[in-house]
Amino acid sequence: MFIRNWRRVLLRASSMWCVYIAAILQVAENAIPYMSDYLPWWMPIAVLVLAPLFRILSQGGLDADKQDHADETR
């Protein structure tokens, strides 16, 4: 099974990457001793705030329905 447009899929998944990174930062802060001394408490929150922005950028705007329809006609 091969994904023909794997680069585009990874680019459009950039908003989910923000969620994954925030989760990893939160786990690291709570699980690794002394990590909270180096990792600011607001870092996971800041990464999560960026997730919607990355979603809008990766889909090319707020009109995702029109873009998805254009993708299907190609």
**Residues of 22-56 as b/e, b for ≥16 C-beta within 10 angstroms?**
beebbeebeeeeeeeeeeeeebbeebbebbeebbe
Ordered per-residue pLDDT tens for the chain, 74 residues: 677 887 877 777 777 888 888 888 888 888 887 777 888 888 888 888 887 887 777 666 656 555 555 555 55
> Angle at CA 22, nearest 5°, toward 56 and 28?
170
In eight-state DSSP terms, residue 34 is T
pTM above 0.85, yes or no: no
